[in-house]
Amino acid sequence: MGDGREILAQVRGLVKHFPISRGTIIKRVVGQIRAVDGVSFDLYRGETLGLVGETGSGKTTVGRTMLRLYEATEGEVIFDGVDLMSLKGKELDRMRRRISMIFQDPFASLNPRMTIGSIVGEPLLVHEVGNKKERQARVRQLLEQVGLNPNFINRYPHEFSGGQQQRIGIARALALDPELVICDEPISSLDVSIQAQIVNLLERLQDELGLTYLFIAHDLSMVRHISDRIAVMYLGKIVELADRDSIYSNPLHPYTQALMSAVPVPDPDLQEARVRIILEGDIPSPASPPEGCNFHTRCPVVRLDHCPLAEPELRELQPGHWVACHYAEDFQ
């Protein structure tokens, strides 16, 4: 994708399979959940890459595997020239200071027995950054940076609203001055009125601190607002990857077309004229994905002589526009 931008991270052939075990005394592996099944993409420094898809598509597993909260089954995550999958011990700890994560459910990700000062300052303590006085000053600075009163440092998570709890989670994620922040559906559990505030905060922090985001979400309208590029996942694979405007104005994969047809537009005349694409059936189980193109069981334009037999490769059909469909040229 040589367009002059600096690549911060490269994901290559990332695979994460979870074993399915049976038996109470002697457990044996009888299958695998293919949560992520060969995902590749680049992350440019300073950009926001939106990762979207239905529940069960594997997008959260991609983020957690990149950070090695899950160990990858196969593949590489090359961050600033170093393969994170090969690191151990102190080398991994040093690299983890440069990558952080904002979790989906703010209350579940905050220890209810710890004050917010201890929660936000925990990464500093774990990585032995500064003395006690310096850490406390840094925590107060972080709380102010995310729009919270630094005098609340001794309060507990249950004393805050959902939006405020997510701000605490954001402050914790920024404690070590990371370069890459993986945002795992950070607004999905919040009221609609609060979602825009959190997204605006993330955009402001990106401008101020030069952050790079992998923004995982299923709200297509919000993803369009915050993202520079968008990757669409289906059943553990990326089926389309392009810049935001190309994805919304000219989707080339039938799955992406169905997703975009469901996004409401503010113009009532345009909304009425749009054709909604309804997909038949549910997303197949990742324990037994379909052969060939894994979307062929729901695809409205499937060609049964080819689609169930051969897996499409992710190819660059237009400059910067990648799609995994045998017949994507027909939709240009």
Give 98-117 pLDDT, tens digit per residue: 999 999 888 888 999 999 99
- Return d(Cα 70, Cα 80) in angstroms, integer: 20
Q: pLDDT grade, residue 9 (50/70/90)?
A: very high
Whether residue 130 lies inside any domain: the answer is no
DSSP 8-state secondary structure symbol assigned to residue 275 = P
Q: What is the largest CA-CA distance in the chain?
A: 69
| Mean pLDDT over the full length of the chain | 90
- Return d(Cα 20, Cα 11) in angstroms, integer: 26
Q: Over 90: is that where the pLDDT of 313 sits?
A: yes
Total domains in the fold of the chain: 1
Whether residue 204 lies inside any domain: the answer is yes
Radius of gyration of the chain (CA): 21
Whether residue 239 lies inside any domain: the answer is yes
pLDDT at 22: 85
- Return d(Cα 117, Cα 287) in angstroms, integer: 42
- Return d(Cα 287, Cα 115) in angstroms, integer: 41
Q: pLDDT grade, residue 2 (50/70/90)?
A: very low
Average pLDDT over residues 61-68: 94
pLDDT at 270: 62
Q: pLDDT grade, residue 89 (50/70/90)?
A: confident
Q: Which two tokens stand for residue 196?
A: 């825009």
Whether residue 245 lies inside any domain: the answer is yes
pLDDT at 192: 84
Helix-helix angle 192-209:162-173, to 10 degrees = 20
Q: pLDDT grade, residue 33 (50/70/90)?
A: very high
- Return d(Cα 216, Cα 184) in angstroms, integer: 5
Give 247-293 pLDDT, tens digit per residue: 988 999 999 999 888 776 666 666 566 677 878 878 889 999 999 99
pLDDT at 1: 45
Better-scored residue on pLDDT, 2 or 223: 223
Domain limits for position 293: 7-21+29-98+178-331
Entry field: residues in the chain: 332
Whether residue 123 lies inside any domain: the answer is no
Average pLDDT over residues 64-69: 93
Q: Over 90: is that where the pLDDT of 137 sits?
A: yes
Whether residue 158 lies inside any domain: the answer is no
Better-scored residue on pLDDT, 55 or 118: 118
pLDDT at 268: 65
Cβ atoms of 220 and 54 closer than 8 Å: no
Q: Strands, DSSP E only, in the chain? A: 7-22, 28-44, 48-52, 74-79, 82-83, 99-102, 180-184, 212-217, 229-234, 237-243, 315-318, 321-323
Whether residue 220 lies inside any domain: the answer is yes
What is the value of pTM for the model shown?
0.91
Q: In one letter, which amino acid is 168?
A: I
Average pLDDT over residues 68-78: 94
Better-scored residue on pLDDT, 180 or 89: 180
Give 163-218 pLDDT, tens digit per residue: 999 999 999 999 999 999 999 999 887 888 899 899 999 999 999 999 999 999 98
pLDDT at 218: 84
The CATH number that applies at residue 322 is 3.40.50.300
pLDDT exceeding 70 applies to what percent of the chain?
95
Q: What DSSP line would sit under 51-81, residue for residue?
A: EE--TTSSHHHHHHHHTTSS--SEEEEEETT
- Return d(Cα 291, Cα 6) in angstroms, integer: 37
Q: Which two tokens stand for residue 81?
A: 């020239």
Helix (H, G, I), strand (E, B), or coil: what is residue 128? coil
Q: Which residue has the tokens 């499409």?
A: 312
Strands ordered across the beta sheet of 74-79: 28-44, 7-22, 74-79, 82-83
Whether residue 121 lies inside any domain: the answer is no
pLDDT exceeding 90 applies to what percent of the chain?
68
